[in-house]
């Protein structure tokens, strides 16, 4: 355990929570120069600290929490010099490298002067050497998530965060303002939820459905924040307007060093690194700091596993197949949709790689695999891969309430089965159900596809726990319409039951009348049977049945003589 140095502005008891950010750790690995005297400013996750320690000769970290400082001293030992205090209390020789990827919000204590953002930046610049490498993060107040956050402004940051800079007119709110405010020339990355980092000029030139836009959407959809509407619409619109670099959750400015890659995207605990070229992207998948290859041999579910080797080294430029299918469905161009589905059915082959239309690249003529590293344990049949892709597409099409030309009641297995037919998968023969619980043939056809799609949703951390307000309102409207229809159905059933009840009462009264008549007739019949007249009539009746009287007389005479 290393000794903790305490300077002015320390906070106790207190702790600043941090979360692992593998993509940021991979970026720092490329940016931090070797064998330099480095200062880490503010709370950072152990992954980021490890990536800096691996390259620097002497590393100092400044955190305002004494408890956090003591824990860091226990975790890293003498290789990390830990200082507890605020930025305005730190003095000493300038540093060759300054890492402030948490920004400048959590670097002052209770007793510190209320410095503006530019004043904090000036204090930071005084600690930097003339040729220092500075990595500085800035939260974007104009971010898409901030605009769509359904919570009031006073509820977005709790008291436990203690972020005093909530309204500062000197704070930059764009890439140009950030570059102008910095005293150094800097390269800026767009930070999407600390899971995807895209070079600002590359993000500005990205179009909807391309790799940067898809990575940004995936990062924002993984954040558990109550939103007014789904983030994918805003991201696609911003990309179409060339403003994708203006709406991230934050920016990361790097000065004094030239970043070597254009995109860093977190995939599970691995990081996808990509560089744009004239024909597409050169990609590399690396394991994040603090993890190993064995950590990814098994996926969070038994169905799928993580295999970075299946990611192609070169990915062509183009939009995703899902984007094209969404456009054709919204335009109600069923023939073009059917042709594209048929082409996809011919292109897909038996493989371990799970097919996703949001990751397959389409350049207008041919298809190419994307950067998805998720594979099945064994090779999957072609029709099962197509079923999984169409099940996922159906969930996203209906879940995002997009326009499509198919009837509203044709959803689920029926719609997936229709798309499979377009892809060349013959529908199963419809047999008569042997029992009410027998599943239809379409359900059996897409059953395996549903399993693969569900497993893929789990490993991709698809946003399902938090529902945005627009989706909730749409669901409420659908529930209201369904309730109205059910009320009409219940009213019709009540009328039918009323009519049947009246008919039953009429039948009951008629049965009672007939039962009374039967009882009266039975009583009269019993009285007749007990009378002497009835007895005489029976004797006469039986006597009339005698055809040979002499024979009967002789038999009677013999009986009388015997007695």
Residues 100 and 191 in one domain: yes
Q: What percent of the chain has pLDDT over 70?
A: 91
pLDDT tier for residue 299 given thresholds of 50, 70 and 90? very low
Tokens encoding 413: 């297995």
What does DSSP say about strands 128-139 and 319-320: parallel, antiparallel, or unpaired? unpaired
532 pLDDT exceeds 90? no
- Residue 134: its pLDDT value, please? 95
SS3 532: helix
Strand ranges in 88-223 using DSSP code E only, listed in sequence order = 95-100, 128-139, 186-192, 196-199
Residue written as tokens 């690396």? 286
Q: What's the pLDDT score for residue 240?
A: 93
Q: What is the mean pLDDT of the chain?
A: 86
SS3 287: strand
Residue 149 DSSP symbol = B
Round to whole Å and give the CA distance between 342 and 335: 10
For residue 148, being part of any structural domain is answered with: yes
CA distance 287 to 229: 33
Q: Answer with the residue of higher pLDDT: 442 or 477.
A: 477
Cα torsion angle, 80, 83, 87, 91, sign = negative
Specify whether 452 is located in the same domain as 495.
no
In whole angstroms, how far apart are CA 227 and each of 430, 461, 465, 515, 535? 43, 17, 12, 71, 98
pLDDT digits (tens, 9 = 90+) for 448-498: 888 988 888 888 876 555 677 888 888 888 889 889 999 999 999 999 999
Taking 70 as the threshold, does the pLDDT of residue 178 lie above it?
Answer: yes
Name the 3-class secondary structure at 515. helix
Does 419 have pLDDT greater than 60? yes
What's the pLDDT score for residue 438?
Answer: 56
The pLDDT score that the predictor gives to residue 463 is 53
Q: Are residues 525 and 545 in the same domain?
A: no
Global pTM reads: 0.81
- Pair of tokens at residue 424: 């060349």
pLDDT value at position 152?
A: 83
Q: How confident is the model over 278-301, as a mean pLDDT?
A: 64
CA atoms of 86 and 12, how far apart (whole Å): 12
Q: How many CA atoms lie within 13 A of 496 on its CB side?
A: 6
For the stretch 305-339, pLDDT in tens is 888 888 999 999 999 999 999 999 999 999 999 99
pLDDT for 300 equals 44
- Domain carrying residue 84: 4-164+173-293
Strands annotated E in 200-256: 250-255
- Structural contact between residues 247 and 142, judged by C-beta atoms closer than 8 angstroms: yes
Tell me if residue 421 falls in helix, strand or coil: helix
**Residue 407 sits in the same domain as residue 456:** yes
Rounded Cα distance, 404 and 417, in Å: 16
Contact 136, 103 (CB under 8 A): yes
Secondary structure tally for the chain: helices H, strands E: 18, 19
Could you tell me if 420 and 458 lie in one domain?
yes
275 falls in which pLDDT band (50, 70, 90)?
Answer: very high
Each residue's pLDDT tens digit, 186-224 = 999 999 998 999 999 999 999 999 999 999 998 998 888
426 and 482 share one domain: no
Q: What is the pLDDT of residue 289?
A: 54
Q: Would you tell me the crossing angle of helices 231-240 and 211-221 to the nearest 10 degrees?
A: 150
**Please, what sign has the CA dihedral across residues 167, 168, 171, 174?**
positive
Give the count of domains, the chain.
4
Same domain, 404 and 545: no
Query: Residue 408 above 60 pLDDT?
Result: yes
Say if strands 80-84 and 4-6 run parallel, antiparallel, or are unpaired: parallel
The answer to whether residue 312 sits within a structural domain is no
Sign of the C-alpha dihedral computed for residues 514, 516, 519 and 521 taken in this order: negative
Mean pLDDT value of segment 47-71? 90
Determine which helix (DSSP H) or strand (DSSP E) holds 122, and give its type and residue range. helix 117-126
Q: Is 38 a residue whose pLDDT tops 80?
A: yes
Q: Where are the beta strands (DSSP E) in 14-121?
A: 37-41, 58-63, 80-84, 95-100
Q: Is 95:37 a contact under the CB 8 Å cutoff?
A: yes
Please, which pLDDT band fits residue 290 given cuts at 50, 70 and 90? Answer: very low
Average pLDDT of the segment spanning 126-142: 93
Interval 64-105: pLDDT, tens: 889 899 999 998 988 999 999 999 888 888 999 999 999 998
Residue 544 has pLDDT above 80, yes or no: no
Taking residues 269-273, report their average pLDDT.
86
Residue 535: Cβ within 10 Å count: 11
Q: Is residue 301 part of a domain?
A: no
Which residue shows structure tokens 């430029």?
Answer: 317
- Provide the CATH number for the domain around residue 113: 3.40.50.150
pLDDT above 80 for 121: yes
Q: Which two tokens stand for residue 442?
A: 């379409």
Q: What is the mean pLDDT of residues 527-539?
A: 83
Q: Are 139 and 102 contacting, i.e. CB atoms less than 8 angstroms apart?
A: no
Contact at 8 Å (CB) between 266 and 253? no
Residues 200 and 91 in one domain: yes
DSSP state of 192: E
Residue 545 covered by a domain: yes
H/E stretch holding 319 reads: strand 319-320
Whether 45 and 76 map to the same domain: the answer is: yes
The pLDDT value recorded for residue 165 is 53
- Are residues 496 and 367 part of one domain? no
Task: Answer whether residue 298 is part of any domain.
Answer: no
Average pLDDT over residues 154-169: 66
CB atoms within 10 A of CB 548: 8
Strand partners, 333: none
Question: Given pLDDT bands bounded at 50, 70 and 90, which one contains residue 561?
Answer: confident
Domain-embedded: residue 308: no
Question: Does 480 share its domain with 444?
Answer: no
pLDDT digits (tens, 9 = 90+) for 374-395: 998 888 899 999 999 999 999 9
Tell me, yes or no, whether 305 lies in a domain: no
Beta bridge partners of 251: 138, 190
Are residues 227 and 90 both part of a single domain?
yes
Token reading at 118: 């530019």
C-alpha distances in Å from residue 268, one per residue of 23, 216, 287, 298, 460: 10, 15, 9, 12, 8
Q: Is residue 339 part of a domain?
A: yes
Residue 434 has pLDDT above 80, yes or no: no
């Amino acid at each position: 355990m290393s000794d903790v140095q305490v300077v002015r502005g320390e906070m106790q008891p207190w702790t600043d929570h941090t979360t692992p950010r593998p993509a940021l750790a991979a970026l720092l690995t490329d940016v931090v120069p070797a064998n330099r005297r480095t200062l880490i400013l503010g709370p950072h996750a152990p992954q980021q600290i490890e990536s800096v320690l691996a390259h620097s000769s002497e590393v100092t970290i400044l955190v305002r929490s004494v408890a956090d400082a003591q824990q860091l001293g226990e975790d890293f030992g003498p290789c990390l010099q830990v200082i507890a205090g605020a930025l305005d209390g730190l003095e000493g020789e300038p540093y060759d490298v300054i890492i402030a990827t948490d920004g400048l919000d959590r670097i002052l204590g209770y007793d510190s002067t209320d410095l503006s953002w530019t004043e904090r930046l000036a204090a930071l610049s005084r600690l930097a050497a003339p040729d220092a490498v500075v990595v500085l993060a800035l939260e974007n107040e104009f971010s898409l998530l901030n605009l769509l956050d359904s919570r009031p402004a006073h509820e977005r940051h709790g008291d436990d965060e203690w972020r005093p800079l909530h309204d500062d007119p000197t704070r930059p709110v764009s890439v140009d303002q950030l570059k102008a405010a910095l005293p150094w020339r800097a390269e800026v990355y767009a930070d999407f939820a600390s899971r995807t980092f895209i070079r600002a000029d590359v993000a500005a030139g990205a179009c909807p459905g391309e790799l940067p836009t898809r990575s940004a959407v995936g990062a924002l959809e993984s954040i558990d924040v109550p939103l007014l509407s789904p983030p994918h619409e805003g991201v696609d619109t911003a990309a179409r307007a060339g403003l994708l670099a203006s709406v991230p959750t934050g920016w990361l400015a790097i000065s004094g060093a030239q970043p070597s890659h254009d995109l860093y995207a977190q995939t599970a605990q691995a990081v996808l690194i990509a560089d744009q070229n004239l024909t597409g992207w050169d990609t590399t998948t690396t394991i994040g700091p603090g993890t190993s290859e064995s950590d990814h041999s098994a996926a969070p579910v038994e169905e799928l596993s993580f295999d970075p080797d299946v990611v192609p080294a070169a990915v062509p430029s183009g939009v995703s197949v899902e984007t094209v299918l969404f456009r054709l469905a919204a335009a109600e161009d069923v023939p073009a949709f059917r042709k594209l589905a048929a082409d996809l059915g011919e292109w897909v082959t038996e493989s371990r790689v799970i097919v996703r239309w949001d990751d397959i690249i389409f350049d207008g003529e041919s298809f190419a695999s994307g950067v998805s590293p998720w594979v099945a344990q064994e090779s999957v049949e072609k029709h099962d891969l197509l079923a999984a892709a169409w099940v996922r597409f159906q969930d996203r099409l209906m879940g995002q309430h997009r326009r499509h030309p198919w009837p509203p009641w044709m959803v689920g297995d029926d719609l997936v089965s229709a798309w499979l037919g377009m892809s060349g998968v013959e529908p199963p023969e419809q047999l008569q159900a042997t029992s009410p619980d027998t599943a239809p043939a379409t359900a059996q056809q897409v059953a395996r596809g549903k399993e693969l799609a569900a497993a893929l949703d789990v490993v991709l951390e698809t946003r399902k726990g938090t529902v945005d307000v627009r989706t909730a309102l749409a669901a409420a409207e659908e529930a209201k319409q369904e309730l109205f229809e059910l009320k009409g159905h219940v009213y019709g059933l009540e009328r039918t039951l009323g009519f049947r009840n009246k008919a039953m009462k009429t039948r009951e009264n008629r049965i009672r009348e007939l039962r009374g008549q039967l009882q009266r007739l039975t009583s009269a019949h019993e009285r007749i049977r007990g009378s002497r007249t009835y007895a005489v009539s029976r004797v006469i009746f039986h006597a009339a049945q005698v055809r040979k009287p002499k024979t009967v007389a002789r038999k009677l005479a013999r009986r009388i003589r015997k007695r």
